[in-house]
Amino acid sequence: MSEVVEVTVSARGHRLNRRALPVLVAGGIAAVVGADELAVHYHSPHRIAIRLVGMAAFSFGLLLFQRAETVPVRATKDALEVGSRRYRRSEIDSASLVTVGDKTVLRFLGPGVDLEVDEATGKKLLLVLGLDAGHRVAKYAVPGRLAAVHPLLSNAQSYSAITLAWMIPVMASWKTFGLISQNVAWALIAAGAVFMAALLAPSSLEVGADGFFVRWLGTKRFVAYAEVVEVTEATQFGMASLTFALRDGRSFRVVSGKTQGDPVLARLREAMKVETAQGPENHALLLERGSMSARAWLDHLRAIGDGAAATLRVADVDVEALWRVVDDPKAKTSSRIAAAVALSGRGGEGVAERLRAATEASTAPSLRVAIEATTKGDDARLLEALEEEIATEEAKAR
């Protein structure tokens, strides 16, 4: 694959400078307020008309600012250039191929840029930038976990209806009928405010090649694709969602705020299709912990890396076979950690850098911590990660 891709496509959003947006908004408000004051000063009876004209002009300016136009696009491993704008790779939160109507769009979150491309070109751009599901974790803000209970709990209209349905009876019971005291009324209002805050709190979703990681109000959950047995897609009340049926009989639902052109669900679908050319093969048996303690397992894995295990159970482990285990998103997290530790024992130029690169596409917390500790030689933290993974696997086995 070439390290540079150059195409000419229709783009939207590349002219919108996020740093200039607050200035633009403030300028629009000032223009509307200024027009209103001008009308008052000259005793004009048309203040509302002047306001509307000012707001319409501001909205039209925004549309022009974001209009689609044909521009040259250049992508490298470090940056994306769209027309005269240049976005560093680090500025891009995620990128996904989505369908909008009858068009295929490559949507970049962060810069807020949409490129109309064919599927093949879109995949080339993603691959060169290293933003495809196999190489980079994508981060999104999605409706909170309460939205997974019912889609009605995930949109503004529902929030307004819930607020009214809660406040009207409380206020009527207090002010009109005197059924509750002021203190009780305020307690109920406070409870409603807490519930609304929970509804409004978004979830942080990280989508990797091996699974997805969700944070919400202090709670955390990692779901490995290897645990998924079935995926069901649904659209209710204008909200799209994916429900993941897991091997342990439970399910996990991810709700998105869009039904068309949604990058979140598109990325999840893409990530679940990611497969490596070869799996863990028979070396997985040598990497297994068995009944060993975390300390004994660590020593065993380092012996594999040093080649000392060659005479114990099998022939010396092939380095590329270990790399296939590390890079395989469908392998067990414990096997990937074990392979990473064994490889770190081999040393060699570029091993630490390649191990760190493997974590860029992973959302498994224990894998990320273990590899970071391995590359830094932090045995205490590595042992903690191994013990955490052991506890996780034992809990799943129960």
Question: What average pLDDT score do residues 146-171 get?
Answer: 74
pLDDT at residue 281, rounded to an integer? 47
Handedness of CA 96, 102, 103, 104 (dihedral sign): positive
Does the pLDDT of residue 215 top 90, yes or no? Answer: yes
pLDDT at residue 214, rounded to an integer? 93
Binned at pLDDT 50, 70 and 90, residue 313 comes out as: very low
Cα–Cα separations (whole angstroms), residue 294 to 156, 342, 393: 49, 14, 13
pLDDT at residue 96, rounded to an integer? 87
Rounded CA-CA distance 239/147 in Å is 10
Does the pLDDT of residue 39 top 60, yes or no? Answer: no
What tokens appear for 56 in the block? Answer: 């319409």
Find the distance separating the first CA and the last CA of the chain, reported in whole Å.
46
Rounded CA-CA distance 28/34 in Å is 10
Q: Determine what percent of the chain is predicted with pLDDT higher than 70.
A: 73
> At how many degrees (to 10) do helices 351-359 and 333-346 cross?
160
pTM to 2 decimals? 0.65
Q: Per-residue pLDDT tens for 329-366?
A: 878 888 888 888 888 876 666 788 888 888 888 888 88
> Parallel, antiparallel, or unpaired for β 85-88 and 94-100?
unpaired
Binned at pLDDT 50, 70 and 90, residue 312 comes out as: very low
Binned at pLDDT 50, 70 and 90, residue 311 comes out as: very low
Q: Where are the beta strands (DSSP E) in the chain?
A: 5-12, 69-75, 79-82, 85-88, 94-100, 103-109, 113-116, 138-142, 203-207, 211-216, 219-224, 228-236, 239-246, 251-256
pLDDT at residue 222, rounded to an integer? 92
For residue 329, how many other CB atoms are within 10 A of its CB? 24
Q: Per-residue pLDDT tens for 87-107?
A: 999 888 888 888 887 888 998
Q: Per-residue pLDDT tens for 66-85?
A: 567 888 999 998 999 998 88
Closest CA to 212 of 256, 157, 264: 264
Does the pLDDT of residue 46 top 70, yes or no? Answer: no
pLDDT at residue 99, rounded to an integer? 84
What tokens appear for 342 in the block? Answer: 């064994």
Domains of the chain listed by start with CATH number: 1-14+68-132 (2.30.29.30), 17-65 (no CATH), 137-274 (2.30.29.30), 283-397 (no CATH)
Q: Are 223 and 235 in contact (CB under 8 A)?
A: no
Binned at pLDDT 50, 70 and 90, residue 186 comes out as: very high
Per mean pLDDT, which of 100-104, 137-141, 157-161, 234-238 is the most reliable? 137-141
- Residue 248 φ then ψ, to 5°: -85, 5
Q: Determine what percent of the chain is predicted with pLDDT higher than 90.
A: 11
Q: Are 230 and 334 in contact (CB under 8 A)?
A: no
Q: Using the 8-state DSSP alphabet, how is residue 274 labeled? A: -
Range from 65-79, 147-161, 285-299, 302-316 carrying the lowest mean pLDDT: 302-316
Q: Per-residue pLDDT tens for 225-283?
A: 888 888 888 887 777 888 999 988 889 988 886 656 678 888 888 888 764 333 444 45
